[in-house]
Amino acid sequence: MSDSKVDLAALLCSKICHDLLSPVGAINNGLELLEDETDPEMRDRCLDLLSDSARASADKLKYFRLAFGAAGGFGDDVDPAEAKELITSLIGDSGKITLGWAVQTEALPKKAIKILLNLALIAREALVRGGRLDIGAEKGDVGIEVVVRAEGPKIAMDAGIRAALEGQLSEADLSARTAAAWMSRDLVLQNGGDLRVSPASGTELLLGAIVTA
């Protein structure tokens, strides 16, 4: 494995650790509270906290496993329903983000699902005040088309992430924050495709990719 691939893997690991820090930390806090708490009502609240945090940790691990990893439990093709379930868990049930789903029901190649999940993660993180996340994918004449659209009161995309998606970021400037975007573009290009990002807008973000079938 080349040094650049090792570095990218290390940065993706750093991102995973960063994103898991909050729910795992909440589990630790809940256990500490539960250890000293004797009031039945407060103990029930601690157990609810533990349950929610454990579920959030498991959901994120499942998401990262398919989006970033080899996902050995999946075949060469993946049922889009699996991706929808993962994205639904990513959004959560707070009601701040509405999911629109327009993905073909037939199985898609794992590479297309990985791209879809990564672009969805980037778009979700850009919806800092909530809004709507629309996901679309289907096999077309030139390959598999993936479209992700985020719309909300405020869209905030890190300049480094945009540069990575557009191919304007050097390997020397890669960080844990930009690693997923870099991997997304690299995966698209490796499969003879193209990735496009809409111009900067305060309320809308459009990400599109085409990969060979």
| pLDDT tens for each residue of 193-210 | 999 999 988 899 999 999
Domain extent for 184:
3-211
Q: Provide the pLDDT confidence category of residue 79 given band limits of 50, 70 and 90.
A: very high
- Mean pLDDT score of the chain, rounded to an integer? 89
The whole-angstrom separation of Cα 43 and Cα 34 is: 6
E-assigned strand segments in 51-90: 77-78
Number of domains the chain contains = 1
Q: Looking at beta carbons, which pairs linking 41-48 to residues 24 or more positions away fall under 8 Å? A: none
Domain containing residue 110: CATH number: 3.30.565.10
Looking up tokens 């709507």, which residue turns up?
132
The pLDDT score that the predictor gives to residue 71 is 57
C-alpha 71/C-alpha 128 separation (Å) is 29
Model-level pTM?
A: 0.87
DSSP E strands, 104-186: 108-109, 131-139, 144-151
